[in-house]
């Protein structure tokens, strides 16, 4: 094993066995190494090379909410690494009959090596993490979507290079995606602007945490009231649905509240000529984004989706691989 390979392995030693509930659970060096390995795994994938680092390992997916990208990317990723997955729902498990989260977490810890949770309530995720003796991964909660942010950072690094030289503009709802992007941008020393309707601003506690991190990394986090001003000379424009899962009853009201926040070609034209359009998907054409933008040549939404596979493989290897198996 080469010296370079040993240098890649060492930062993962501190990550093995940890939970991944939010991006700030890892430091900047660890996140950079996750992205580095994800890019390496993607190159290997293109060549038909698949590692077997997680042979004999088992991953459980416990989802209270609908999922396409998270469910499939974790399942395929685990399989490509030599492991296996089992998918659970609350209704199909004893949780649906009243078994406590603590008992479920302790039981699953006897069977599987890691657990991915997707739930509305962050306290449910936290309770699983407190009682499980295996790594717990956040597959999406009300406050955070850290796996998506990893894929977003990977996509920007892949297409734009040095993240400290990237300006990302987020336009839309101050939701879990923006929360995770704020932390991710702060850790990577990236410039992030965001524009949201006043009543849909991101959680202030999370924003303040990101600002504290930014002081040490040189990141710049800026609030804009105007989407057009925020878009000016940006390297990438990002948006998300205006009504997330569980907010379906608010769709009509939010459509009115978000008037003027659609990412259309006028917005994209204010960004740099080679600016990317990003969206975590699913997308609703004609609402948060116009059809011509998401279908246009600047759109990288399906590359983002693809990169979910590779960053999650990197994450699983970091949390579950034995020393010496990372590369």
240 is in an annotated binding site: yes
138 is in an annotated binding site: no
262 is in an annotated binding site: no
Q: Provide the 3-class DSSP secondary structure of residue 40.
A: helix
94 is in an annotated binding site: yes
Q: Answer for the pair 268, 298: CB distance below 8 angstroms, yes or no.
A: yes
* Block residue for tokens 């717990």: 136
308 is in an annotated binding site: yes
178 is in an annotated binding site: no
Which token pair is 262? Answer: 């659609």
17: CB partners within 8 A, 6+ apart: 134, 135, 319
Q: Which residues are catalytic?
A: 118, 145, 148, 240, 280, 308
Q: How far is residue 20's CA from residue 94's CA, in Å, rounded to a whole number?
A: 25
135 is in an annotated binding site: no
Kindly list the strands in the beta sheet with 136-140, ordered across the sheet, starting from the edge strand earlier in the chain: 84-88, 58-63, 114-118, 136-140
Q: Answer for the pair 226, 257: CB distance below 8 angstroms, yes or no.
A: no
Which token pair is 106? Answer: 């302790």
146 is in an annotated binding site: yes
85 is in an annotated binding site: no
245 is in an annotated binding site: yes
Q: How far is residue 185's CA from residue 193's CA, in Å, rounded to a whole number?
A: 10
Binding site per annotation, positions for carbamoyl phosphate? 67-70, 94, 118, 145-148, 280-281, 308
Binding site per annotation, positions for L-ornithine? 176, 240, 244-245
């Amino acid at each position: 094993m080469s010296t370079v390979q040993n240098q890649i392995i060492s930062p993962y030693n501190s990550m093995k066995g940890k939970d991944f509930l939010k991006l700030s659970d890892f430091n900047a060096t660890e996140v950079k190494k996750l992205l580095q390995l994800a890019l390496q795994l993607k190159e290997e994938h293109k060549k038909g090379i698949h590692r077997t680092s997680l042979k004999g390992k088992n991953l459980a997916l416990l989802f209270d909410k609908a999922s396409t990208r998270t469910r499939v990317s974790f399942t395929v990723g685990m399989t490509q690494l030599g492991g296996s997955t089992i998918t659970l729902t609350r209704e199909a498990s004893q949780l649906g009959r009243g078994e406590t989260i603590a008992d479920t977490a302790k039981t699953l810890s006897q069977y599987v090596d890691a657990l991915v949770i997707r739930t509305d309530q962050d306290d449910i995720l936290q309770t699983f993490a407190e009682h499980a003796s295996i790594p717990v991964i956040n597959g999406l909660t009300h406050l955070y979507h850290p796996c998506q942010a990893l894929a977003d950072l990977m996509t920007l690094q892949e297409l734009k290079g040095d993240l400290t030289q990237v300006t990302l503009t987020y336009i839309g709802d101050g939701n879990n995606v923006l929360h995770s992007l704020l932390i991710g941008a702060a850790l990577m020393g990236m410039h992030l602007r965001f524009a949201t309707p006043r009543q849909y601003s991101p959680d202030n506690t999370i924003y303040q945490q990101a600002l504290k991190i930014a002081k040490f990394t040189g990141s710049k986090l800026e609030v804009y009231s105007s989407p057009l001003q925020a878009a000016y000379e940006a390297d990438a424009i990002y948006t998300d649905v205006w009504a997330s899962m569980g907010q379906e009853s608010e769709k009509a009201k939010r459509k009115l509240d978000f008037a003027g926040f659609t990412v259309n070609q006028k917005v994209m034209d204010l960004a740099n000529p080679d600016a990317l359009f990003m969206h975590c998907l699913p997308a609703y054409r004609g609402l948060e984004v116009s059809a011509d933008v998401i279908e246009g040549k600047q759109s990288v939404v399906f590359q983002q989706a693809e990169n979910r596979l590779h960053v999650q493989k990197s994450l699983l290897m970091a949390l579950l691989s034995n020393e010496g198996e990372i590369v």
